[in-house]
Amino acid sequence: MAGKGSVIIIDDEQSVLEILEQYLVDRGYEVGAAGDGAGAEALLREKSFDVALIDLKLPDCSGIDLISRYQNEHPSMRCVIMTAYASLDSTIDAIRLNVFDYIQKPFDLVKIGEVVDAAHASVSIASPDGDIIGELEQDRRELKESRDDLKKCVVKANEDLGHAKDSLNRHVTRLKMLFQMGRDISSNENWSDALDRFLMALCKYMEADGSALLMFSFGGKVLQVRTLYNMEMNYLQTAVNLLIEAQKNDSLQPEIFSLDSLTEGAPLNCLSARGAWSNSAIPLLYKGMWLGFLLLRKRYESKREYLDDYHFLTTIQTILTEEVANAVNISRLRNLNDFNETILENINNGVLKTDRSGEIVFVNSRAREILGDAADGKLQFDDLFRNPYGSGGLFDHLMSDTDRNHSIESILSIPYGGTIPVRVNSTLVESDEYSGKSLVVVFEDLRVQKAMEEELRRADRLRSLGELSAGIAHEIRNPLTGIATTAQVLREKLGDDPDKIKYITVILEEIRRLDGIITSLLQFARPLTPRPAELSINGVIDEAMMLVSDKAKEACVDINFETALEDDGCFLDRDQIKQVVLNLVMNAIEACNEGGGVNVRLGVAEDTSGIVMMFEDDGCGISREVADKLYNPFFTTRAGGTGLGLSITRKIIENHGGSISHEGRSKRGTTFCVRLPRKMVSAAAAVETGVTI
């Protein structure tokens, strides 16, 4: 069918009108029929037509006139001429008027149909009101619909983009947090702060109510709360107990589980949880070793809710495990390092390390103390230690020997500071730092040990000397007794003649003096074991002072005794202590040979359990040379001295468990200081040191 155009037929033949009308209506056209120009005029006033079929000959006008009028009044209408009398003129007119077509009567209906269709189509194309507009409108509607759809799509896409942005932000926050956490925990000196920050950030980010970190210590034996955020200690203690119990039963898995499920029995993996739960435990398991648990208090109503967090939580689990393991290792290393450093710095031996060329690259504080300022400069091992093996450097010897360890005695030469006997313990170590071997040396200052050895040797010598002296004294005393007896007999026989007995008296005096020396000698060689008894120490000193008072007067020396002891009760050997006081006061008086004063002061010792006796004089003082030999038996600077007074004094004091010392410089007087326990410490000690003959 051609379409829904409209056609006006103008013809004066009624039959033509009817046939054409019927035919065109059948073809789908709206048809108007007029018998003359006036009728057509009336129809055209009512509506416009797409096509006009016009007969050339009409009763009231010619078709050409109508067409020419229509050209002005209905320019879009296509005019087709129908005529039975075609002439050249009318044809030319028709062409000039630009009619659409020209049909000769009698006509073929099909041909008419085709012409009308073509004319109508031409109108449709040319006319702005035609189908094209309809189509365009249709298209416009469709376009609008599409645009609306597109708008919706754009809004949706924007929404999606917003979600994507949020999600990206969340991821960035996560990454930031994880990065921060890693850096913080393993780089921090004090990782407790870092853990606190981490728990806080985790809760904030996860929108969780609280969190805590439980960690195993003491080789995985004890589980403790390491740090917590918004969780109660009581709850955590219960959780700790439950977890320990579960661990004992071997029911713990490395997967994140619901802590709530522990109260009901075995731990339940969150991925298999059915109901809701509030506390999750994230196990931290590193290479088969349980480090602890990260607890998270967040309510999950269902497994689906949990799945949103699952990936993040497992990432946290992986990273935190690594970081905690690192931090534990670092803190272990740090402790070990501190421990080693403490040992190195507090050890009473010098410790050195060399590089492979023998230069000292490390000294501990004891070595620095011994070496003094030299420790700050460049030092070579061989400049410090003498080689006891003979020629060549000790360093090369120790480095090339097949034994890695050596323990030898050597002499340490301190640059500009003398020498020290030392024991060198060296170990050859492989050291990456010094690309090859180096030597670690621990050296011990043997000065005290050597001095003790010397003291032992001296004691040994004294013992032999004592034994010898005692033997000689014993041997001398017998003949001396004989001489003394004989001299006394002689004296009796000589009567009272003063000239005669004068010589005998000198002999007897000298014998007495010799006997005194022998008594002292024997006392030194075989001091009597102290027999302690209750005594008043003030009284003992008073007695001794009385005994020396004449002698002091003779030497024009003032002697004076002060005591600060109210309770002066002691448990000591009375005679021996009196002898100590006598010896020291006599020495003091003798030191003041040109007059002066001697002060004896008695007081309480610093530790209050003992007493202190001070013997001060303003005599000649003690020179350094004398001080070294002061307590040696037979050492004396006095013409009539035996040199046994101080050695006997020291023995008595030591046998009582006390000590004696002196201070004072040459020509400024001397102070001897005797410290004694109130109660004698050990009688056994006296027996041991006593010499038997």
261, 364, 469, 642: which one binds ligand ADP (CB under 6 A): 642
Q: Of 470 and 648, which has the nearer Cβ to ligand ADP?
A: 648
Please state, in angstroms and rounded to a whole number, the distance separating the CA atoms of residues 184 and 182.
5
**Exposed / middle / buried, residue 622 (Cβ in 10 Å: 0-12, 13-18, 19+):** buried
Candidates 350, 358, 619, 677; binder of ligand ADP (CB under 6 A) is 619
Near ligand ADP by CB under 6 A, which window of 67-75, 107-115, 536-544, 638-646?
A: 638-646
Q: Out of 83, 587, 655, 670, point to the residue binding Mg ion (CB under 5 A).
A: 587
Residue 638 binding: pick among Mg ion, ligand ADP, none (C-beta 5-8 Å cut-off by kind) = ligand ADP
The single residue among 81, 268, 270, 591 that binds ligand ADP, judged by CB under 6 A, is 591
Q: How far is the CB of 521 from Mg ion (least distance, A)?
A: 14
> Out of 296, 320, 328, 630, which residue is the one contacting ligand ADP (CB under 6 A)?
630
Per partner kind, with CB cut-offs from 5 to 8 A, the member of Mg ion, ligand ADP, none near residue 617 is ligand ADP
CB of 557 to ligand ADP, least distance (A): 11
Q: How far is the CB of 367 from ligand ADP (least distance, A)?
A: 40
Residue 16 as a binder of ligand ADP (CB under 6 A): the answer is no
Strands 210-217 and 289-300: antiparallel
Alpha-carbon separation of residue 157 from 152, 190, 338 (angstroms): 8, 48, 61
Binder to Mg ion among 645, 657, 664, 677 (CB under 5 A)?
Answer: 645
Residue whose C-alpha is closest to residue 246's, from 294, 281, 276, 206: 281
Neighbours of 2 (CB within 10 A): 15
Nearer to ligand ADP, 227 or 642 (CB): 642
Q: Does 635 bind ligand ADP (CB under 6 A)?
A: yes
For ligand ADP, the closer CB: 426 or 670: 670
Of residues 83 and 587, the one with the C-beta less far from Mg ion: 587
Give CA–CA dist 188/200, Å, rounded.
Answer: 17
Q: Give the span between the Cα atoms of 555 and 595, in whole angstroms.
A: 6
Contact range with Mg ion by CB under 5 A, out of 274-282, 418-426, 471-479, 587-595: 587-595
Q: Which residues contact 77 (CB under 8 A, 6 or more apart)?
A: 48, 49, 50, 51, 52, 70, 123
Long-range contacts formed by 110-115: CB under 8 A, 24+ apart? 112/20, 112/23, 112/24, 112/53, 113/2, 113/23, 113/24, 113/27, 115/80
Angle between helices 574-591 and 537-554 (to 10 degrees): 30
Answer yes or no whether residue 587 interacts with ligand ADP by CB under 6 A. yes
List the one residue from 547, 636, 673, 685 that touches ligand ADP (CB under 6 A). 636
- For position 641 contacting ligand ADP by CB under 6 A, the verdict is yes
Answer with the entry of Mg ion, ligand ADP, none that 622 interacts with (C-beta below 5 to 8 A by kind): ligand ADP
Residue 617 binds to ligand ADP (criterion: CB under 6 A): yes
Minimal CA–CA distance to 113: which of 58, 51, 170, 56?
51
35 binds, among Mg ion, ligand ADP, none (CB under 5 to 8 A by kind): none
Q: Which of 35, 292, 645, 658 binds ligand ADP (CB under 6 A)?
A: 645
Residues 6 or more apart from 29 whose CB is under 8 A from it? 2, 4, 5, 6, 7, 116, 120
Question: 630 touches which of Mg ion, ligand ADP, none (CB within 5 to 8 A by kind)?
Answer: ligand ADP
Among residues 638, 635, 623, the alpha carbon closest in space to that of 670 is found at 623
How do 210-217 and 222-229 pair as beta strands? antiparallel
Residue with Cβ nearer ligand ADP (106 or 640): 640
57 three-class SS: strand
- The CA-atom distances, in angstroms, between 144 and each of 129, 153, 156, 160 are 21, 14, 18, 24
Query: CB of 628: closest distance to ligand ADP in angstroms?
Result: 11
* Contact call for residues 442 and 425 (beta carbons, < 8 A): yes
- Nearest-approach distance from CB 585 to ligand ADP, in angstroms: 9
Find the part of the chain contacting ligand ADP (CB under 6 A) among 81-89, 111-119, 271-279, 614-622: 614-622
Q: State yes or no: residue 622 binds ligand ADP (CB under 6 A).
A: yes
Cα dihedral value 149, 150, 154, 159, nearest 10: 20
Pairing state between β 405-413 and 419-431: antiparallel
Q: Of 228, 518, 588, 676, which one interacts with ligand ADP (CB under 6 A)? A: 588
Of Mg ion, ligand ADP, none, which one does residue 610 interact with (CB within 5 to 8 Å by kind)? none
The residue of the chain with the least Cβ separation from Mg ion equals 645
N- to C-terminal Cα separation, the chain: 163
Contact window for ligand ADP (CB under 6 A) among 173-181, 236-244, 393-401, 644-652: 644-652
410/587 with CB nearer Mg ion: 587
Closest CA to 360 of 368, 319, 236: 368
Classified as helix, coil or strand, 324 is helix
Cis peptide before 388 (omega within 30 of 0): no
Cα–Cα distance for residue pair 445/451, rounded to 1 Å: 11
Q: How far is the CB of 592 from ligand ADP (least distance, A)?
A: 8
Residue 620 binds which of ligand ADP, Mg ion, none (CB < 5-8 A, kind-dependent): ligand ADP
Strand duo 30-34 + 78-83: pairing: unpaired
Is 670 a binding residue for ligand ADP by CB under 6 A? The answer is yes
Q: Does 646 bind ligand ADP (CB under 6 A)?
A: yes
User: Between residues 261 and 647, which has the closer beta carbon with respect to Mg ion?
Assistant: 647
Rg (CA), the chain: 66
Residue 651 near residue 645 (C-beta atoms within 8 A): no
Interface segment toward ligand ADP; rule CB under 6 A; list 282-290, 411-419, 464-472, 612-620: 612-620
Which of residues 91 and 632 has its CB atom nearest to ligand ADP in the complex?
A: 632
Residues 161-200 that bind ligand ADP (CB under 6 A): none
Instruction: Give the one entry of ligand ADP, Mg ion, none that residue 670 binds, where binding means its C-beta sits below a cut-off of 5 to 8 angstroms depending on kind.
Output: ligand ADP
Instruction: Return residues touching Mg ion (CB under 5 A).
Output: 587, 645
Instruction: Return residues touching ligand ADP (CB under 6 A).
Output: 583, 587-588, 591, 617, 619-620, 622, 626, 630, 635-638, 641-646, 670
